[in-house]
Amino acid sequence: MTATTHDRSMLSAARHSEPSRAGVLILRVWVEDRDGDQQLRIRMVGRPDLRRDTQDTATASTIEATLAYVRDWLEHFAISAL
């Protein structure tokens, strides 16, 4: 994504204040060719709290499964921040 696709007020606010907690979720996406059949592969690595060394790892092979994991991860992050 580029900065032009973000809400500019969020970008400027982030520069002036430290978040109370920050996490990261990384998606690595590739296509495997298995006997002429291309299969989508997704590996998701998340750290819900950057101050800690714990991380979650999950894999998926469909867009739907990936979106479900990302939604769950974000919901958990938001709830645990309260």
- Measure the CA–CA gap between 62 and 42, rounded to whole angstroms: 8
Question: What are residue 37's DSSP bridge partners?
Answer: 34
Residue 60: domain span: 22-80
Q: What is the CATH classification number for the domain harbouring 71?
A: 3.30.1300
Query: HSE-up of 61 (CA within 13 Å, CB side)?
Result: 4
Q: How many residues does the chain have?
A: 82
Q: Give the long-range contacts of residues 64-71, CB within 8 A, separation 24 or more.
A: 66/27, 66/42, 69/44, 70/25, 70/27, 70/44
pLDDT in tens, 2-14: 444 545 555 555 5
Provide the whole-model pTM: 0.73
pLDDT in tens, 21-40: 899 999 999 999 988 899 99
Of 70, 28, 12, 16, give the one whose Cα is nearest residue 3.
12
pLDDT of residue 25: 97
Q: How many domains does the chain have?
A: 1
Residue 66 lies in a domain: yes
